[in-house]
Amino acid sequence: MLDQIKRWTRSSFPLIEDMIDFTFQRGMRSITGYPDRFDLVIVDVNNTLIDGSVEFEILKDKIGERSAHSVIQYLDYVKENGDLTVNKWFLASIQTISEKSKGITQADIAKTMQRLLDEGRINHDLIHNVLLPLKQNNTKILVMTKGSCSYAAEWIAKGYGFNKGYGHKLDGEHKVSELIGVKSERIRVDGSETVVKTKFDKAKEFCKEKGIAFDGSRVAFITDHVDSREMRGCVVILYKFDKERVKSQRRAAKLGTFHVMFEKDNQDEMFRFLSNPKIAKQFKQGRPRVFVGAN
């Protein structure tokens, strides 16, 4: 019973914190408004640019769909019932997938990404109707993923001419040297250290490398769900890729852990907003305050 209470507390408190945080942020936005433009747009990979999970698809190609499902079910069980923090769970998941697949190479990732492209599971509409037009307007586009290797994000970024792709990095011994997580920290496991950075941290790094002034209020993040700690300060756009299937999207929509939400078929409105955030006041007001494309 005590273990159940601990698990409920561990899983529920961050959600409650996010809900309160975003309620406050939306209230402040109703007073301060949105910027006149976004200089930088960060876009998530799993269930946003990709229909599904890249790591599962890579694993499926390496060991078969049935075995891949077993690995993912095990990782989900550990997430729900174990004592790992979110960052440590991501690290353990990456290492488990690497071990079960007996190593994942760039060639393996490229093969899987090409298959997803051939199957129409890379989000052509979001890329061509929103991201590429934004790029033509000199908005910087970064592709980022917490769960997948940086090469998967780089594959998309290079293929469509976006500015850069980020994911986890491996060292010469195939151990995770850098991880994109929900908060910045350093994790030591079996004598190896992993540097954890948030997507917000990586956006700052990109701007520093390019000599661009960084202003978090002029950064937008397109994702299927978010932990408020990883992108605190920027504008979070919830993109509902599949409202029936993806649990994280249903939960984020219900709790209101975002600033603006768009359904999959509202990409014209998404582009309008990202091109001119000031038009947010034209959108339907309610709870959450800015709620676009709602049923």
Domain architecture of the chain: domains with CATH: 2-52+120-282 (3.40.50.1000)
Q: Which residues pair with 132 in a beta bridge?
A: none
In the chain, % of residues over pLDDT 90: 37
What does the DSSP assignment read for the chain? -HHHHHHHHHHHHHHHHHHHHHHHHHHHHHHH---S--SEEEEETBTTTBSS-HHHHHHHHHH-HHHHHHHHHHHHHHHHHS---HHHHHHHHHHHHHHHTT---HHHHHHHHHHHHHTT-B-HHHIIIIIHHHHHTT-EEEEEEEEEEHHHHHHHHHHHT-SEEEEEEE-TTS-EEEEE-SS-EEEEETTEEEEEE-HHHHHHHHHHHHT----GGGEEEEES---TTTTTTSEEEEEES-TTT-HHHHHHHHHT-SSEEEETT-HHHHHHHHH-GGGGGGSPBSSSSB--S--
> What does the pLDDT read at residue 114?
96
> What does the pLDDT read at residue 217?
86
3-state secondary structure of 92: helix
Between 41 and 224, residue with greater pLDDT: 41
> What does the pLDDT read at residue 172?
64
Angle at 212 between CA 147 and CA 177, to 5 degrees: 30
> What does the pLDDT read at residue 258?
77
Q: What is the mean pLDDT of residues 236-245?
A: 66
pLDDT in tens, 141-198: 999 998 778 899 999 999 999 999 999 887 766 678 899 988 899 998 877 889 999 9
pLDDT in tens, 9-38: 445 556 666 677 777 766 676 667 788 889
Between 219 and 251, residue with greater pLDDT: 219
Task: Report if pTM > 0.75.
Answer: yes
